[in-house]
Amino acid sequence: MTNSRPLLLDASVLVAYERELTRRAQAFVVTAITDGRILVASALSLAVAAAELADQHRELSWLVEDSEGPLQVLSLSSMNALDVGTLAARAGALDAATLELAQVVHEAAGIHAIVLTYEPKLYHGQSVDIMDMRPR
Amino acid sequence: MTSSAFAGLSDADRYVVGRLAAREHVPAEELAELPQNEIDQHIPGARVVYEHREQIAAELLQRRGIDPTSAEYRAAAVEARNVLDQIDQLGSGYAG
């Protein structure tokens, strides 16, 4: 049976989607869309990915240009910003990557999402289900 | 019994409820008993995406210049399916 939990793509997957030449990330997104899976990304993941991609994020832009398009961006607002900041502070370092991790973990816990990542070590010790996207 | 209400929805309705729930930062089960037309009014584009998902996927491939019949893409698609199968084995994650 298809799992209806949202699939939360972190910054590492968003960057791969834009850059990857082997088509792995693109094939995953296409297959997930065709299946009718719910694809989401945190606003901070999108920001971190954009920073890493500099000005080269045309395909990612297309995917998120419509707020109700195939990839839903989870906003940072009065509903969650204080919780995300508090969670990040517990990790010690207040940099963009830590803030992103905090929002991903916070959102995944709140909506029972599965986190897709190329950097599974980041999530060690976190109470979220992750899917390691690295080649087997 | 909100989890059973969610499980009883059609695939399309589960998608729309799930999209709205994600946007509102809450588990989908919490919204599953709302009238479906009310859900749709809150996120009208979600059902459109679901109903046109194959066209969206095809457009995405076209934009990227990907030939879906190429050996490279077919291998990547098989790998993607394997990942999704693993995801399906993770369970619903809902306390129910």
**Residue B95 pLDDT more than 50?**
no
CA distance A112 to A102: 15
Residue A113 forms contact with B (CB below 8 Å):
yes
**Mutate which of A33, A61, A65 to test chain B, going by most B C-beta atoms within 10 A?**
A33
- Residue A92: predicted pLDDT: 82
| DSSP label at residue A128 | S
- Residue A1: predicted pLDDT: 61
Contact B46 A68 (CB under 8 A): yes
- Residue B93: predicted pLDDT: 55
> Which of A129, A24, A78, A4 has the alpha carbon at shortest distance from B19?
A4
| Global pTM value | 0.94
- Residue B1: predicted pLDDT: 43
Per-residue pLDDT of chain A (136 residues; tens, 9 = 90+): 677 899 999 999 999 999 988 899 999 999 999 999 999 999 999 999 999 999 899 999 999 998 888 999 999 999 899 999 999 999 888 899 999 999 999 999 999 999 999 999 999 999 999 999 998 7
Mean pLDDT of B43-50: 94
Q: Report chain B's mean pLDDT, rounded to a whole number.
A: 90
CA distance B96 to B82: 27
HSE-up of residue B61 (Cα within 13 Å, Cβ side): 22
Contact A3 B45 (CB under 8 A): no
Q: Which residues contact B52 (CB under 8 A, 6 or more apart)?
A: none
Contact A22 B11 (CB under 8 A): no
3-state secondary structure chain B: CHHHHHHCCCHHHHHHHHHHHHHCCCCHHHHCCCCHHHHHHHCHHHHHHHHCHHHHHHHHHHHHCCCCCCHHHHHHHHHHHHHHHHHHCCCCCCCC
The shortest CB-CB distance from B15 to any of A34, A36, A136 is to: A36
pLDDT in tens, B27-44: 999 998 899 999 999 999
Determine the angle formed by the axes of helices B44-51 and B11-23, rounding to 10 degrees.
140
Mean pLDDT of B10-23: 95
**Residue B91 pLDDT more than 80?**
no
Distance from CA of A132 to the nearest CA of B (A): 9
